[in-house]
Each structure stands twice: as structure tokens, then as C-alpha cells.
Amino acid sequence: MTPDLNSKPRLAPGCRLNDKSQQPRTLLMPERALRLNGPSLEIVERCDGQHTVQQLITDLQKLYSKAAPEKVEQDILGYLKLLHDQRAIDFEAAQGSAS
Amino acid sequence: MTTSSNPLALVAELTHRCPLHCVYCSNPLELSQRANELSTEVWSRVFREAAQAGVLQADFTGGEPLARPDLTELIRAARATGLYVNLITSGLPMDEARLASLVAAGLDHLQLSFQGAHEEIAAEISGTKSHAQKLRVLGWMKQHRVALTLNFVIHRRNLDQLDEMLALAESSGAGRVEFANVQYYGWAFANRENLLPTREQLDRSIEQLNAAQERLRGKLRVEFVVPDYYARFPKACMGGWGRKLMLITPEGDALPCHAAKIIPGLTFDNVKDCGLREIWDSSEAFQKFRGEDWMQEPCRTCDRRELDFGGCRCQALLLTSDAAATDPVCSLSPQRGKVDAILEAANSPAPQVNLPIKPIKIDWLYRPNPS
């Protein structure tokens, strides 16, 4: 499944980022925990049900402007698919489109 | 002293009281009494110390955690320290309002245990009528944005209901389903001959579960644990002794694993007397099998020793009478023959019975409820 660019990823029930005061930043989920840093943290912080996949890509292309934009897009889509397969995120369909 | 990093998971056995009497209960044969249970205050301190020591997740278990009237408070206290709170429960006794209060207190993940796909087998295994209540809990859970796992403990008597169990998990809206083959300690060890599946059952179940994992990817995470008696190599029990996990018993003893108390000569520190970090770093029980110095051959020089840490100490004790022996499920263990003999018995056809045939009535040893 390739994420729809207009859908809005958000953390699945029972998945949350630990508090900013706690290091390392970690995605807590049922029976596992995922250490996050750099781009992975930037991505997960934007899985808030507000950002679309496209906005997330645009944001990270700006943050990592030295990397080839296509490469950034590819990496993000791959990472979102992985998070989805792990049941860490859901995609909320864009308004008006069928999911 | 062998170095320790930090614990990642805290298993909080809040009580040994339980309305169920499961024949494979992971609690010790000697259950803690209600009068000796830790107070709300001590548990709250333990959660703070755990979070400070680097623990990420707290598993609230028992017995039945719902037997504690202060469960909501305990969840709130653990969550306030940043811990991820798992509640492992039978769903008894619970109503809609109590579930809502647990969720409001910060519950992250509810794991509902099932004894089978329907009431009949569930009642036989747990000695209680509880299946219909579990289905009610599943209904109430639909209103809450909390992770849900269905935990099926599987064995000889219910393994053939796997498709029905999968269907129940799929229709429940859970994000995760766990099929855990019984592990043979304590009550399960006593009931082993009636619980150990046949090889044919096991092979078929693995095929079904692999197919379910493929089919449900992205919708429902299907996880399973095979019975290690059938494995070639042992499990990395607890992720290695004193490496990741700390268990606190209802009366406050700190254990490296659920069954550690069966190992003779080990002494356990209690959280009422010592801080959690201190126990983790220097308690005799945690040091005993940490690292590699305790290992015998063939573990001592084995390439797999950093993968499985020699397997399970309690299993080594139960089957070889030596807690420091290689886990005898390992095909490299000189004592693997003991496990093979158990498997052979489990896989031989039932003896011919002379007429008149009596209906088969299994003589289960049920776990009682502590006073």
C-alpha cells in the first residue's frame, strides 16, 4: 500500500511519543518501542492527523535541503508504509475522497 | 560485577487474587496473600523509580489487576511518570464505567486474555464462566482510543479452534492479537500432559498463523510464540536474565522473571527496603545469571550465547535439576533427550481402552484464589 499524498497520517490508538523531556525520544507502542532521531522523529512528530503526507514531504524536503527531493519523498513514503504495517499509524482519508 | 544497562520493562504483579483459575497460570504455586500486597503509595514510588531507571513500559498484571480497588490510581501514578501502561486482564470484574475510568487515568494498552473461541472451552480451562463478559468488554472498548490486544493462550485442547479465534480477533477491532503457546512452569508444568500440543497440531497452527499474518498485514498484527519444547534452540528467556525486565511480586520482591522463586538458593530484594535502581544493579538474584560467567558447556563457547543467553534458567532447573545447565530444549544440550521423551509421550496415540469406555474427563489441577 502506498500512502495517498492527501491523506493525513496520525498515530494509531495506543501509540504515542514519549515526553520531550525524556531522552532518547521514543515512539511507545504495544509491546515495543521505537527509538527516533533526526528524520524519523521529524516524520513521527508530524503524524498528528493535521499534516497531509504531501505537507510532511514538503516540510522535510526543506529541512533536508541538501538531499535530493525525490530521495526524501521516497524515504518518507517507505517509512510511513513501515509504520502503517506495524500498526503505528493510520491514514485519515482526505476530505471528500474515498479511502 | 557484570555490568547492566537499564531495565526497559517493569512487570507489576499487582495481586495474585483472580476470579479465574486457569490451569496454566504463570503465577507461582505458592500465591501471595492479600494482606501482604504493596500499598498504592509504594507502587507509585516504584513507578517513579522505574521511569528514572530508564524503564519505558509497565505491564500491570496479576492475578487479576482489576481485583485492586486502587487500579485507576495506580494507572494514573504510572502514567504521570511517563511510563507506557499495559493492562493485562481477564476483563473480570469490570463494567463500562470502570473501563472508562481506567482509560481516563491514562491507560495506553489493554490486553484481554481469552481461554478459547467460545464459552465451553473457556470455562473448562479457567474454571469460571467468563467468556460472555470478555465479549462485552470488547464491545465497550470500541468507544475508546486505546490499543487493544487479544491474548489467546493456546495448547492441545484449543489449538484446533484457531480459525474461530482469528475470526473473533478480526471482528473485535483490535490492532493486535497474540497467540502464546503455554510455557511449562508452575501450574502449566503440573498440567503439562494435557496441554502440550501434538506435532501435527503445531505444524498446522504455524501454517494457519503465517497465512493470517500475510492476509491481515496493516490491519491486525498477528503474533505467536511456539512452544519451545518443539524448537531446536531455546528462547532468549526474558531477553536475557537481568538484561531488560524486572518483575515485582504483589508483596514487593524484585524478580528477574515470573518463575525465579523456584530456583533454590536465590535471595530476592524487596522494593520496600531498596530502591529499584539499586536492586537492578546489585541484587544477588539479578547478578546470578547475568552475562556469561555462570554458563557451562555447551553454552560457554557457543556462538548462539549472545542470541539466546543459554535459554531459560527455570526450565533448566525443572527438567535437569540444575538451574545453570543449558536449557534442555536446545538441540546442543546433552540433556535434550529428556525433552524428546516428553514429546514422544505427547505424540503417541492414546492407549487402547478396554470396554466399557468412560467419557474422557481430564483431571485438571486448578489454580486456587489466595486468601
B40-79: pLDDT as tens digits: 999 999 999 999 999 999 999 999 999 999 999 999 999 9
pLDDT for position B353 = 53
User: Lowest mean pLDDT: which of A17-26, A77-86, B97-106, B260-269?
Assistant: A17-26
Find the closest chain B residue to A34 by CA distance: B56
The arithmetic mean of pLDDT across residues B91-102, rounded, is 97
Select from B57, B145, B147 the Cβ nearest to the Cβ of A33: B57
pLDDT, mean of residues A47-62: 97
pLDDT score recorded for residue B1: 45
B137 half-sphere exposure, CB direction, 13 A CA radius: 25
- The pLDDT of residue B5 is 86
**Pairing verdict, β B84-89 and A16-17:** unpaired
Residue among B56, B146, B221 whose CB faces A33 most closely: B56
Q: Do A28 and B148 touch (CB under 8 A)?
A: no
Can you give the pLDDT at residue A97? 47
pLDDT category of residue A98 using cuts at 50, 70 and 90: very low
Q: Which of B219, B221, B238 to mutate to test the interface with A (most CBs of A within 10 A)?
A: B221
pLDDT category at B371 given cuts 50, 70, 90 is confident
Q: Does the model's pTM come out above 0.90?
A: yes
Chosen from B10, B59, B108 to mutate, greatest number of chain A CBs within 10 A: B108
ipTM, interface predicted TM-score of the complex: 0.90
| Mutation target vs A (from B75, B81, B84; most A CBs, 10 A cutoff) | B84
Distance from CA of A86 to the nearest CA of B (A): 7
Establish if B176 touches chain A: CB-CB under 8 angstroms.
yes
Mean pLDDT for chain B overall: 94
Dist CA B319 CA B325 (whole Å): 10
Residues of A in contact with B109 (CB under 8 A): 14, 30
pLDDT band at A99 (very low <50, low <70, confident <90, very high): very low
- Tally Cβ neighbours within 10 Å of residue B86: 25
Give CA–CA dist B111/B87, Å, rounded: 6
Tell me how far apart the alpha carbons of residues B332 and B299 are, in angstroms, rounded to a whole number.
Answer: 9
pLDDT, position A3: 87
State the smallest CA–CA distance between residue A84 and chain B in angstroms.
6
- Minimum CA–CA partner of B147 in chain A: A14
Burial bucket for residue A90 (CB in 10 Å: 0-12, 13-18, 19+): buried
pLDDT at B359 over 80: no
Q: So what's the pLDDT on residue B364?
A: 87
Grid cell at residue B114: 481469552
Enumerate residues 6+ apart whose C-beta is below 8 A from B36: B250, B251
Q: If pLDDT is split at 50, 70 and 90, which confidence band does A93 have?
A: confident
Please give the Cα distance from B16 to B30 (Å, whole number): 10
pLDDT at A20: 86
